[in-house]
Chains A and B, each alone.
Chain A
């Protein structure tokens, strides 16, 4: 059967038949009602977080400038109520508890060095954090190979990006082998930070519905909400969307068999108008991106470019930027590329080998 032979209708028929066949394997729905206990009185849920007030109704008020988010919790489900003090009536949504892992957490507020900062909407510079329950660098599933296998985190703190391994005991995260970029931005909003502020590398966390609350021994506290975008699937497509300088970027990652591809679609106002593809195939055997992700205004991706010595980002209206490749064990490299695009700016990403020969070049630009 070929593409030409398989028209849309035939494909639809096959998909429908296949889905029905899969669904037909479904067992009998479980009987969840006959043994279900009756209603119980609300119980106190102890959170142990400095920002929370816990009562029988378990109401947690996260104060934001001019507004409040009320998180009401019992057992595993949470009601998040946003009350604006200046506009309109309250809105209420109910959300099941999210998992720590596999969620792109986007910062809402942070208390650092006694000063509270809020991030009312996601934009460039908004911190994010992602947790992986079983990171496996060698599996080619993404992430920095500086990060040890096992539970890991990947963060952008509003300035620097980093990652590290971790151990979790109860609601405590203990960090190991953390690495990060070291740009001197004079600000940071991450529960994970090297330095005297958190010498033990210990952070506590609590998940309440779609909110993640983290705090450190230095008094820092961070509230994240679950991002809207789906997180990458390890053995399939990755889709990450972020907004940089009012430009919406979407990155999809496909790991199909041994052919790895990254697609970066750029759009304005949600409309994709350009794309760039990084592929590992016979044409570019030395350029193997392993993961792509946007943290704030940084496009970050790992690769195994055994012959690549230089990676250059060339915006059309500013000077070229050489992106440092960080050597890793086994001859591989990790790259952190910072994009500073605008809506009408083209750019090129070029990888060259040690002799200056171009290995691969990728361009994005406005097409209309």
Chain B
């Protein structure tokens, strides 16, 4: 888990304290999202770039849904990255062997197939299956319609089912 500074209490650093608390609350999800979208090698850079851009903005205090805003910032940061880097990450992922275990061991094909999904499908799948969000909540996180979320999920499931068949 990331090292966070101790909460600051004086008024001059109150905003930074709030930011630290907000970041601490969402850091795990952001780094997991970045890992699924861009690969573990790029995840830290993606999160750093996205979060620092957001926190450096004077309009950041006006944001109400911090989680959704940070999610979109990470998503946009991945999209803004050079496509070749993303594709390289996907290739690396397809050839890598997962070193961790989960409650239910996934079949190898699902890992490669997930990594090969288009970016927005991958984000929808992550937010649905990892973060356990409803389609409406995923739509709010990605700032797209609920119908689009359902479509992305349907296409992702179609692709993944085909890979597993």
Contact = CB atoms under 8 A, between A and B. Distances in A.
Interface of A: 1-3, 6, 11-34, 36, 38-39, 42, 72, 74-79, 92, 94, 96-99, 101-102, 133-134, 228, 230, 233-237, 239, 252, 256, 270
Contact of B43 (A27, A78, A99, A230): A27
B114 A99 contact: no
Interface residues of B, number: 87
A77 B54 contact: yes
Contact of B36 (A22, A133, A230, A233): A22
Interface of B: 1-5, 13, 15-16, 19-20, 23, 27-28, 30-36, 40, 43-44, 47-48, 50-60, 62-63, 69, 72-73, 76, 79-80, 82-84, 87, 90, 93, 98-107, 110-111, 113-121, 125-126, 129-130, 144, 147-148, 151, 155-157, 159-161, 164-165
B60 to A, nearest CB: 7
A24 B28 contact: no
Nearest to B155: A237
B165 A26 contact: no
A94 B100 contact: no
A99 B80 contact: yes
A270 B125 CA distance: 23
A238 to B, nearest CB: 8
* 5 shortest interchain CB distances as A-B pairs: A77-B57, A236-B118, A29-B2, A29-B27, A18-B110
Contacts of B161: 3, 6, 11
Contact of B82 (A25, A94, A133): A133
Nearest to A76: B53
Contacts of A25: 35, 40, 98-100
A36 B55 CA distance: 10
Contact of B117 (A76, A96, A133, A236): A236
Contacts of B83: 102, 133-134, 234
Given A15-B157, A33-B23, A26 B43 contact: yes
Contacts of B164: 1, 6, 11, 14
B57 A19 contact: no
A98 B76 contact: yes
A237 B58 contact: no
A233 B78 CA distance: 13
Which secondary structure dominates chain B's binding surface? helix
Contacts of B114: 15, 18-19, 22
A32 B23 contact: yes
Contacts of B105: 17
A19 B100 contact: no
A94 B69 contact: yes
Contacts of A230: 120, 144, 148
A14 B87 contact: no
A178 to B, nearest CB: 23
Contacts of A22: 35-36, 93, 98, 111, 114-115
A328 B50 CA distance: 42
A356 to B, nearest CB: 37
Given A3-B161, A20-B130, A34-B5, A94 B62 contact: yes
B2 A28 contact: yes
B20 to A, nearest CB: 5
Nearest to A8: B157
Task: Tell which of A12, A24, A133 has the most Cβ of chain B within 10 Å.
Answer: A24
Task: Tell which of A27, A30, A31, A39 has the most Cβ of chain B within 10 Å.
Answer: A30
A94 B79 contact: no
B60 A94 contact: yes
B3 to A, nearest CB: 4
B47 to A, nearest CB: 6
Task: Tell which of B55, B76, B156 has the most Cβ of chain A within 10 Å.
Answer: B76
B16 A26 contact: no
A36 B16 contact: yes
22 contacts: A17-B104, A17-B110, A18-B111, A18-B114, A19-B36, A19-B125, A19-B130, A23-B32, A23-B130, A24-B98, A25-B98, A26-B31, A26-B34, A29-B1, A30-B44, A32-B52, A75-B56, A77-B58, A102-B83, A234-B87, A235-B118, A236-B121
Contacts of A256: 159
A28 B1 contact: yes
A25 B35 CA distance: 7
Given A77-B58, A94-B69, A29 B31 contact: yes
Contacts of B82: 133-134
Contacts of A235: 87, 90, 116, 118
A14 B56 CA distance: 39
Contact of A31 (B2, B90, B117): B2
A283 to B, nearest CB: 19
